[in-house]
Amino acid sequence: MKAIRYHEVGGPEVLRLDEVPEPTPGPGEVRIRVEAAGVNFADTERRRGLYDATSPLPRILGSEAAGIVDGVGPGVDAKWVGRRVVALAPRSYAEFATTTEEELLELPEHVSFEEAAGLLVQGLTAWHLIHTSAQLQQGQRVLIHAAAGGVGLLAIQLAKQAGATVLGTVSSEEKAKLARESGADEVFVYGGTASVAEWVRTVTQGAGVEVVLDSVGASTWASSLESLAAFGHLVAYGSASGPPAAVEVETLYAKSLKVSAYWLRTPHPAALQRRAREALGSALAGGQLRVKLGLVVGLEEAAQAHQRLESRATVGKVVLRVP
């Protein structure tokens, strides 16, 4: 089968379209004929050797796939064969990928494989940030950085559904427009003279926000802490601009702040993960949640997709269509 692998860490140019053996589903697993593979910022970090750096190379990239089940391993009900599904699935930048049966979410006919490929990594992250980590409540205010990105646009929609007021930060007017279209109440475009924290103070009449979701790290960390109201909660979940400064507990006392981290690969209670996945699946199918497809290219154009994602040139979801 065709697959995108990297043989050494480096820039987007290290991604190669290789011919590799097809995977076989093991016990409890299914094999998916991949129609669309989601691209995530973490894939670019993995390729650069900043994340998961101990994996042996060459390695097929990818972590989620939408497609059709074409085989099952021992112990899996054969009813799955032929069904349209989406799942967290490693090594999904390929024509076939395997995953466990419990990861499968069945897709109705009207949900496209491309949209579905944008649902799980970013949607589960957004869902757990809001419901599991921040436990965002009706009437609270949340500041979401990189608000027009894959996680960002989904987090805006889920935060609005939770009854929160949403403030977002982005790097361009085009991104600001998209964030507003997804429901953000106020959007800040970097680059002017005002700081994010000053802007937050202005739009919250001096109160600050109860929650900040920060995936940018180094360049936003200080303003994230400054933007919090008393007893506020900063949830870190990425470091697109580099790792944030170390947390000095002494600096948290003045406002009794809470700082936490969220990682999708932490083992989650199975029932909680199922609830999150099913909530996202039914919201997508029912039209209450939209996946904005910002860039859809062929599998062989994975390097271009990475280059655009890491140069901040994309909005919403980046997807590889698999032939």
Q: Write down the least CB distance from residue 125 to ligand NAP, Å.
A: 4
> Residues in the chain, how many?
323
Q: Give the shortest CB-28-to-ligand NAP separation in angstroms.
A: 24
Q: Which is nearer to ligand NAP, 21 or 192 (CB)?
A: 192
Shorter beta-carbon distance to ligand NAP: residue 80 or 115: 115
**Contact residues: ligand NAP, CB under 6 A:** 40-42, 121-122, 125, 146, 148-152, 170-171, 175, 215-216, 219, 237-238, 240-241, 262-264, 309-310, 312, 314
| Closer residue to ligand NAP, CB minimum distance, 98 or 122 | 122
Which C-beta is closer to ligand NAP: that of 12 or that of 150? Answer: 150
Our CB check for ligand NAP shows the closer of 89 and 170 to be 170
Minimum distance of ligand NAP from residue 21's CB (angstroms): 29
Q: Which is nearer to ligand NAP, 69 or 291 (CB)?
A: 291
Separation of alpha carbons 186 and 179, rounded Å:
9
Q: CB 323 → ligand NAP: shortest distance, Å?
A: 24
Is-contact 37 65, C-beta < 8 A? yes
Strands 317-321 and 105-106 turn out to be unpaired
- Least CB distance from residue 171 to ligand NAP, whole Å? 3
From the CB of 149, what's the least distance to ligand NAP, in Å?
A: 2
- Single-letter code of the amino acid located at 140: Q
- Minimum distance, C-beta of residue 127 to ligand NAP, in the bound complex (Å): 11
Long-range contacts of 102-109 (CB under 8 A, 24+ apart): 102/270, 102/274, 104/30, 104/69, 104/80, 105/277, 105/278, 105/280, 105/281, 106/281, 107/66, 107/281, 107/285, 108/84, 108/285, 109/84
Q: Tell me how far, at minimum, the Cβ of 265 lies from ligand NAP, in Å.
A: 6
Token code pair at residue 266: 């932490």
Residue closest to ligand NAP when measured from CB atoms: 149
Calculate Rg over the CA atoms of the chain: 20
Cα separation, 105 vs 108, whole angstroms: 10
Q: How far apart are CA 310 and CA 244, in angstroms?
A: 18
